[in-house]
Structure 1
């Protein structure tokens, strides 16, 4: 009976009528009642808040997804500048690059030469010769697309002003060479030499150029052949020869026959024979046709040849030179 009364009292205390709500819901009274109704307070799921029933807190739920990232905040205030660090050790002394300095000086000298160097032998001054002979000397001339080159100028023969591009006199220079050497040139300007196909192309491709050949046969007779038109094509056409307008004292023109022929060497065969290499057979570089009526770059004293009266004769000496046509 006592337990039933206690249960009713506890139930009434936690679920009062509106009339008694204020009194019974005071914290003091609830504490008193709960002391008497300890078991009920622990077992019941209800705690009153005014007239609303609120259940006990359940177990903690799963963590939700994070919300969207907030905007970037304003940058903070720049802090004060730190103190300077200690001074580092001094480095070792650098090395002056003399190669670069020399190259720069060479370029400057080249520019000056290009500005003032004559373009042909008719513009040279005798006191500007790098070396002299009875017939002329070595001078610096400017060749377009090539640059400043040392060239031999014949200043006496037939009015002078000739640029010598080939000479065979002493036999001390090997003319049985490859394509690269014939393009660039080789030899001694005061002795046996070949100027170079690229320079020859650049010098004959501008204006009207004439060419002269002086020769001496093995019996000591002097011969000459002169051509009023002479031109050498570009490297893309293997330095094709264009020559015409022969005059001279040789009994046969042995050079005009090579007109329109490409230049050939032992390693660059451009002659008309598909199964022969005229450069190898004749021992030099030349405008071989099929094969030759002249061969002034052949083996010295053996195949330096010119065609006379149906016979190929050996030349002991030869010189080829060009100038602007008078």
Structure 2
């Protein structure tokens, strides 16, 4: 009778729906097994003690069935709890992902707004810079390299050679030049340099007018810029030509009143008095070779005086520029000087990098082969 009461009490235990209730049910299942085990032992003992009476009021097969039903009930409740937990977990994950997506959408919108603001700010800065530079020109260091040297002598003990910005008088803009500050007392503005053959001097008229090359290396400053420098008010400029031969012998030619006419007159050259050790190749040996006052010529702008042709070195020449491999110079029936000469393609294989021509610089009657040259100008004095 005691065992039956225990079984009824166990059957009346509440069933929990939450995960914690399921854990409790599992613990109770262990208790049920212990109680039934204890009840079985006590029932068997009571059966042995009760003589002539029924050994068990509940048959054993009913007890097993009750235990099996209880087990199935607990397993079913556990399965339902796990399914509910899975649904809750999926919903939680879905809610978290939706929340993250909303956060990403908000962040993306903020980034787009920020990018739009940055682009707007960049446009404003660019417009501001354009307006600023259109009003304020680039600050120059002086009117030319001589002016820069004179203004810095009292401030800097040694003025370095290099690229400076100049703004000649009565010009609209500034531009860069290379200033030689350690050659013959300095103050030289380099207008042309040939040294390694890396720059091609086979150029059109427009290139010779505007300039080309690398200021720190081989370059042609440009006829227009040189015109602005040497035609400043109350100024006189010296042209100095420094030559170096293939065997490293040096020489020079200098002219004390160098200037150019304007573009309408094709930048005619004016030289002044000659001095030096290389000979006056600009003027040559006779009037036909004289290149002073000659206009500048290029392949596409022919002012060389060969109309329709001229004779040069026993050759009939129609274009001095083409004769000198499509380079530009102050040709007068070709003449004896062309410091912009360019080698023919075949000569490159023979190691001759340039065809710089200064025919009056000779050794034993043979012109030197020139490997480098620099043309530079310097302010001499103020006219009164």
**TM-score bin (small chain):** 0.5 to 0.7
Asked if 1:290 is matched to 2:326, the reply is no
The gaps in structure 1 that reach 5 residues or longer are: 1-91, 128-133
- What corresponds to 2:164 in structure 1? 139
Q: What is the deviation of 1:272? A: 0.9
Q: What is the deviation of 1:306? A: 0.5
Q: What is the deviation of 1:120? A: 1.4
Distance in 2 between the 1:121 and 1:267 partners?
32
Cα deviation 1:17-43 (Å, max 9, x = unaligned) = xxxxxxxxxxxxxxxxxxxxxxxxxxx
- What corresponds to 1:120 in structure 2? 144
Normalising by structure 2, what TM-score?
0.54
Cα deviation 1:175-195 (Å, max 9, x = unaligned) = 010011111100001100000
- What corresponds to 1:105 in structure 2? 129
Do the aligned residues in 2 keep the contact of 1:185 with 1:194 (CA within 8 Å)? yes
The gaps in structure 2 that reach 5 residues or longer are: 1-112, 153-158, 284-289, 310-317, 344-352
Aligned ranges 1:1-326 → 2 under 5 Å: 96=120, 102=126, 105-106=129-130, 108-109=132-133, 112-113=136-137, 116-124=140-148, 136-143=161-168, 144-145=170-171, 147-206=173-232, 207-250=235-278, 252-256=279-283, 257-274=290-307, 275=309, 276-283=318-325, 284-300=327-343, 301-308=353-360, 311-326=366-381
Larger Rg: 1
Q: What is the deviation of 1:121? A: 1.4
Name whichever of 142-151 and 225-234 sits farther off.
142-151
Normalising by structure 1, what TM-score?
0.63
Q: How many residues align?
A: 228
Do the aligned residues in 2 keep the contact of 1:146 with 1:199 (CA within 8 Å)? no
Do the aligned residues in 2 keep the contact of 1:254 with 1:294 (CA within 8 Å)? yes
Do the aligned residues in 1 keep the contact of 2:141 with 2:164 (CA within 8 Å)? no
Q: What is the deviation of 1:219? A: 2.4
Q: What is the deviation of 1:108? A: 3.0
Q: Normalized per residue, which structure has more helix?
A: 2
Do the aligned residues in 1 keep the contact of 2:246 with 2:369 (CA within 8 Å)? yes
Q: Normalized per residue, which structure has more strand?
A: 1
The CA RMSD measured in Å over matched residues stands at 2.8
Change (3 A) 1:244 1:152: same
Do the aligned residues in 2 keep the contact of 1:110 with 1:148 (CA within 8 Å)? no
Cα deviation 1:105-162 (Å, max 9, x = unaligned) = 25634754556531111343799xxxxxx97111111134351111100001111100
Q: What is the deviation of 1:213? A: 0.5
Do the aligned residues in 1 keep the contact of 2:197 with 2:354 (CA within 8 Å)? no
Do the aligned residues in 2 keep the contact of 1:168 with 1:319 (CA within 8 Å)? yes
Do the aligned residues in 2 keep the contact of 1:293 with 1:312 (CA within 8 Å)? no
Distance in 1 between the 2:243 and 2:211 partners?
21
Secondary structure of the residue aligned to 2:258 is strand
Distance in 2 between the 1:302 and 1:318 partners?
10
